[in-house]
Amino acid sequence: MTHDPDSANVAMWVTEPLPSDVSKSLQRLARSEDVRYVAVMPDVHLAGDVCNGTVIATNDLIYPLAVGGDIGCGMLAVACDLSADVLSNEMSAGRVMAGLYRRTPSNKHAKSHLPEQLPESLNEKPLSASTLETLKVRDGLFQLGTLGRGNHFVELQSDVDGRLWLMLHSGSRGMGQAITEHHLRRTTQAPSGLGYLDASTPEGLAYVSDQEWTTEYAMQNRLAMARAVEALLQEFFSTSLDWSTLIHCHHNHVRRETHFGEELWVHRKGALPASEGEPGVIPGSMGNHSFHVTGRGEKTALRSSSHGAGRSLARHLARKSISRHELNQQMKGIWFDQRRADAIRDEAPSAYKDIHRVMRAQRELTRIIRELKPILAYKGM
């Protein structure tokens, strides 16, 4: 751990000196009104107004941008009652890939595959505005069980014993973006330029409530996709998921927690909760290993850890500097849809930090329980 010399309330676990634009963004965040503590994770990188890989704690104010637009985004991992060898040939891998496109689309379901209704946990709690309620029954239903684009993925992996595991990364889809934009229009601008809501006001309470609903939506979205993958495995291999192994966590949220003897609003944007013994999933890039972990409860990190490897190249730079050939070389031995190679060059392994360096940088924050290597990587289109 290190401390930012310009801000006594900023603790950092980093793999390398921070770029100047990241440092400036963190300083702006740390100096924003009512920000008491900041913890910077080793996967930190620039992302809009607030960097991914940051955790802040406030007394009374809520900063929606310190949660981000994809509220509730997170990870799910569950073991399959199957050997990873079933994906050792191109025919099996191709069938599974085609099935993933059909059962876990990136954008929305075809009408013939629409869920009948939202889960009860989502239906029973109203959102704070009628416009959001309209979106809930329209976009919310169409997008439940869909992957999204960018760095969201479904991956099939092998553990050291050769057992097949499912891992997926997705969030709250269009609902999270719409809810964030709705509440950003109601924020007060701090001198730093970041908008905030007072948690004790009706506006602040409405955001907190809507954010909790959206986090539940994101979790139900991942569970719906996991069940769709299970149906695919049953169809092709007559097997099921071992739900007793489920690890389910999210890394974009704000919630009330006790730290340093105080009740604080803890915002995590691209950071995993890591209380003592708390299970979590930390993915590498789509060509690198991933980890199942438990937290160590490090107080100065606000009981948090990284949520992944973190980008080392911005998307536009990755697209300019990484060729299709280089992507294919970096993905050697991993099944993926090569028809999409040009479209996903910005997701190449070299666009991300070395996950092993990231894990070493946060030894104080997590314990590694299991290491997995990718077998098949699916990204939406």
Instruction: Specify whether the CB–CB gap between 305 and 1 falls below 8 A.
Output: no
Q: In terms of Cα–Cα distance, which of 249, 294, 273, 210 is closest to 57?
A: 273
User: Phi and psi (nearest 5°) for 199?
Assistant: -65, -15
Task: Please confirm, yes or no, whether 169 is among the known catalytic residues.
Answer: no
For tokens 């104080």, what's the residue?
A: 364
What distance in Å separates the CA atoms of residue 127 and residue 138, rounded to the nearest whole number?
A: 14
| Other CB atoms within 10 Å distance of the CB of residue 357 | 12
Instruction: Specify whether the CB–CB gap between 232 and 85 falls below 8 A.
Output: no
What distance in Å separates the CA atoms of residue 276 and residue 299, rounded to the nearest whole number?
A: 10
Instruction: Specify whether the CB–CB gap between 127 and 213 falls below 8 A.
Output: yes
Q: In a 3-state reduction of DSSP, which class is residue 252?
A: strand
Catalytic residue among 152, 182, 183, 307, which? 307
Q: Which two tokens stand for residue 325?
A: 């050939």
Cα of 34 vs its chain's centroid, Å: 26
Residues involved in catalysis: 307
